[in-house]
Structure 1
Amino acid sequence: MRYLSHTPEDLRAMLDTIGVKKVEDLFSTIPAEVRMDGPIDIKPRTEWELTAELGAMAEANCDSVAFLGAGCYPHHIPAHIPYLSSRSEFLTSYTPYQPEVSQGTLQAIFEFQTMTANLLGMEVANASMYDGANALAEAAIMAIHVKKKPKVAYSRLNHPHYIQAMKTYFRPAGFEAVEVPVLPDGRTDFSKIPDGVSALVVQSPNFAGVIEDLEAAAKAAHDKGILLIASFSEAMAWGLLKNPGSCGADIVCGEGSSFGIPLSAGGPGVGMLACSMKNVRSVPGRLVGETTDKNGNRCFVLTLAAREQHIRREKATSNICTNSGHNALTAAMYMASAGSEGLHAIAKLNHDKAAYLKAGLEKAGFKPLFDSPFFNEFAMKAPAGFEKRYDELAKKGFVAGLDLGKYYPEYKGAWLFCATEVHTREEIDAFLKEVA
């Protein structure tokens, strides 16, 4: 199909319909200091000139050792995962709008759902979430549909970007989100759950790396007659920790990109969402089920597809269109390859590497922000002047954690550090030597 640009008349008609005077007005919500003002300086280049220029730009990027997590975690990706997931029958497949002729795609989704449910200890999981933030927003709306109360409580140490996404979903619907404070040990204060909410959202490990007491969270939520939504940003934690389902969570949601998906400058992600069977009809998006055809052969079907593309809009639980299907396939391949014992071993290595890093930082003068158990990241109070030292470390090839004070003013001077199986002892020792 030939590309035909919009005519000035087309642009004028669209702008009038939207209600703005010029195209630039569409970007008014973006701060002026980060907007480009004026034409973009692009000159023609040959293919080899452009390749050389992009290569030079790539080489200019810092090749650092990053002790940074906060929702995006570096993990080893076995060579067979991208090889298998890039096969054409996987890479070129699309959302099964004609599911009866998409058996391969449906089976891949079914396997992802099955392993997600097993990992999280829940009865049913879907395969329609874009990432962890989207999964949390959809889970919160699901809880509101179940309990019929347009308000959700969330722990202060849930990932701030996830909460921002949830509030963005809530705004046009008129729903409300209420924050629950945390205790001095970095865990949620369940005695402060407000009345009149549908659910309590608790992330574990939380944004400061602290492992929450999900059993206590479930008891506190159920005593008030509300649902517990257990959120997570690091799926690898469930290779080692007691899963949310066995702790009493009603809905579990989070980010699964630790399973075979490269960081790629912050994305893409793959959202996970699971729940108990009694709430299955409120699950957003789509579910793939297993059945038999008229000849008794095993086959797969879309079932309980409660998105607005399949049923009347007013009856739909969500308008989510599809999921990052290829990422779900990749995550399923990773989980199947590692198995439960493999995930446990990798998760154990994550914790051990983080514990080694934490002990070294304490020797260098850092102090734990919280005296609570952690998985592969933790918060530390830095010695005076560390902000300046942070920039010096960056020049030497180390990204020394995340400044928690940017998100939580009360934790000014505290930094979030992370170590996973990809960090070698030599890298950690070199970093600790520079810090000391």
Structure 2
Amino acid sequence: MRYLPNSPAERAAMLRATGYQSIEELFAQIPDELKLRDRLNIPGPLSEPEILEYFRQAASQSTREYTSLLGAGAYSHYRPVVVDALISRGEFFTAYTPYQAEIAQGTLQAMFEFQTLITQLTGMDVANASLYDGSTAATEAVLMALRVTRRRQVVLPRTLHPEYRQVLETYVRHQDVDLKEVGYSPAGQIDFGKLRPSVTAETAAIVIQSPNFFGVLEKSAEVAEIAHRNGALLIFIVTEPLSLGIVKPPVEADIVAGEAQSFGVPVAFGGPYLGFLSARESFLRQMPGRLVGQTQDTEGRRGFVLTLATREQHIRREKATSNICTNQSLCALAATIYLSLLGKRGLQALAEQNLAKAHYAAQELGRISGVAVPLSGPFFNEFVVKTPVPAEDLLAELRKEKIIGGLNLEKYYPELKNHLLICVTETVSRAAIDRMVAVYRRMASLPKISGRAAELDSASIGRNR
């Protein structure tokens, strides 16, 4: 455990150097109502052995014996051990922004290869050296479209990841941007009947996600036609990039952005992840972040440099092209190693395995009376299931079988009460799928309690009804 201790004498010296007499004086500009006066509600203080024991017990509750059917933007895939072995090398692990090309050729080449792989997967002309994560990459794509078109309206579907929508709303809240939300059809795709009248001469871009939050593939060519007919851009968001191993690249899009966590980056309790952004070459000057390019030195040898990394983003605040001042080099390196190990055929084979397992699971669940796969659109490795009993009850039963059964959609879509979003990747065995189906079948066969009986059964004893 590494830490930097500061003695009282050292703290006093730092305060004197900054012209303050006390910590309270240093933070006097913070309003009193924002200051924490009470002690933090955490156990302790603990000794080092006690801390280690606490985390040992916590880790025992997060055992690898569980099968995860969670997806929704963070996907469990097998990671070859060589990925961690290579990214843990000191040359990469301690890498900072490669401003000095002459001493950072390894890092620069890795970023260049990452950009190349992203353009090959997305069918775009250029890609940057990565962004923080999928949500900020999607937002940067929207801001880029606003700059390119000089319009202030964006149309996005409810099938876009709910948290991506929240991040976007936060970014544009005070920028005079009109966000128009479009619903979804019974197929689980964007509702074209509502989309067409929503797109006007003021629309900067239409945003779609495919596979979308429900796992359904969108009709991107038809959406692109509507966007381009109105002078708008099509922004194509990807949260499960493994789908690009089997699905046609979105070449009709103008900007393709999203999350590349599936490529060799662990789920890791939610981060760090790996955003990417690619686009047509004509939009190069409006791209956020940095781009690495290939060049030659004075002796004709191949080399790599930061081709585009405008410094204005550090000083111009809201007038800057972007306030993204860094990239996820280490995670991008992991993705580059992962994709290089798999190759084109390996990526396609892995995508086909995900497709087959997810469709097997959906088919088996669909055979159970009281269970339904309600969305009719084509899907990749993720799909929606209508449960035969309350969703939380079913999830609890699945946990008894050491299965994390998916995401309860009611949190984000109130109309989808008792619907789960299930993801089946190569890490889920057929035996685990069959165990899951058996739990559904058992729960579906339970006698149904009428609404009035359930209400009385749940009432507190002695309560006057």
TM-score between both structures, scaled by the size of structure 2:
0.86
Gaps of at least 5 residues in structure 2 are: 442-465
SS at match of 1:230: strand
Deviation at 1:101, TM superposition (A): 2.5
Q: What is the 5 A alignment of 1:390-405?
A: 390-405=395-410
**Are the aligned partners of 2:313 and 2:322 in contact in 1 as well (CA < 8 Å)?**
no
Find the aligned partners of 2:45 and 2:36 in 1 and give their Cα distance: 23
Find the aligned partners of 1:22 and 1:186 in 2 and give their Cα distance: 44
**Are the aligned partners of 2:69 and 2:423 in contact in 1 as well (CA < 8 Å)?**
yes
1:406 corresponding residue in structure 2: 411
2:260 corresponding residue in structure 1: 256
Q: Which moved more, 1:410-419 or 1:204-213?
A: 410-419
SS at match of 2:76: coil
Whose Rg is larger?
Answer: 2
TM-score between both structures, scaled by the size of structure 1:
0.91
Question: After superposition, what is the alpha-carbon deviation per residue over 1:177-233, rounded to whole angstroms, capped at 9, x for unaligned?
Answer: 221222221111232433212101000000011100111111111011100000011
Deviation at 1:310, TM superposition (A): 6.8
2:51 corresponding residue in structure 1: 50
Question: After superposition, what is the alpha-carbon deviation per residue over 1:279-328, rounded to whole angstroms, capped at 9, x for unaligned?
Answer: 01000010001111111111111112135357865763111121111000
Q: Which of the residues 229, 232, 239 maps onto 1:233?
A: 239
**Are the aligned partners of 2:77 and 2:425 in contact in 1 as well (CA < 8 Å)?**
yes
Are positions 1:425 and 2:427 aligned together?
no
Q: Which of the residues 7, 18, 29 maps onto 1:17?
A: 29
2:85 corresponding residue in structure 1: 83
Find the aligned partners of 2:22 and 2:333 in 1 and give their Cα distance: 41
SS at match of 1:173: coil
2:69 corresponding residue in structure 1: 67
After superposition, the Cα gap between the structure-2 partners of 1:76 and 1:278, relative to the gap in structure 1 and judged at 3 Å, is same
Q: What root-mean-square deviation, in Å, do the aligned CA atoms of Structure 1 and Structure 2 show?
A: 2.2
After superposition, the Cα gap between the structure-2 partners of 1:97 and 1:173, relative to the gap in structure 1 and judged at 3 Å, is farther
Find the aligned partners of 1:143 and 1:345 in 2 and give their Cα distance: 35
1:33 corresponding residue in structure 2: none
Deviation at 1:382, TM superposition (A): 1.5
1:118 corresponding residue in structure 2: 120
2:178 corresponding residue in structure 1: 176
2:448 corresponding residue in structure 1: none
2:460 corresponding residue in structure 1: none
Q: Which moved more, 1:164-173 or 1:311-320?
A: 311-320
**Are the aligned partners of 1:132 and 1:272 in contact in 2 as well (CA < 8 Å)?**
yes
2:199 corresponding residue in structure 1: 194
Q: Which moved more, 1:249-258 or 1:165-174?
A: 165-174
SS at match of 2:258: strand
Deviation at 1:359, TM superposition (A): 1.0
Paired residue type of 2:93: L
2:222 corresponding residue in structure 1: 216
Deviation at 1:403, TM superposition (A): 1.3
Paired residue type of 2:429: T
Paired residue type of 1:354: A
Are positions 1:275 and 2:276 aligned together?
no
Paired residue type of 2:172: F
Q: Which moved more, 1:97-106 or 1:355-364?
A: 97-106
Find the aligned partners of 1:207 and 1:413 in 2 and give their Cα distance: 17
**Are the aligned partners of 2:199 and 2:227 in contact in 1 as well (CA < 8 Å)?**
no
Gaps of at least 5 residues in structure 1 are: 26-35
Are positions 1:164 and 2:176 aligned together?
no
Find the aligned partners of 1:314 and 1:252 in 2 and give their Cα distance: 24
Find the aligned partners of 1:193 and 1:76 in 2 and give their Cα distance: 41
Find the aligned partners of 2:101 and 2:22 in 1 and give their Cα distance: 38
After superposition, the Cα gap between the structure-2 partners of 1:169 and 1:10, relative to the gap in structure 1 and judged at 3 Å, is farther
2:454 corresponding residue in structure 1: none
Q: What is the 5 A alignment of 1:97-136?
A: 97-136=99-138
Paired residue type of 1:75: H
Percent identity (aligned): 42
Q: Which moved more, 1:181-190 or 1:345-354?
A: 181-190
**Are the aligned partners of 1:132 and 1:271 in contact in 2 as well (CA < 8 Å)?**
yes
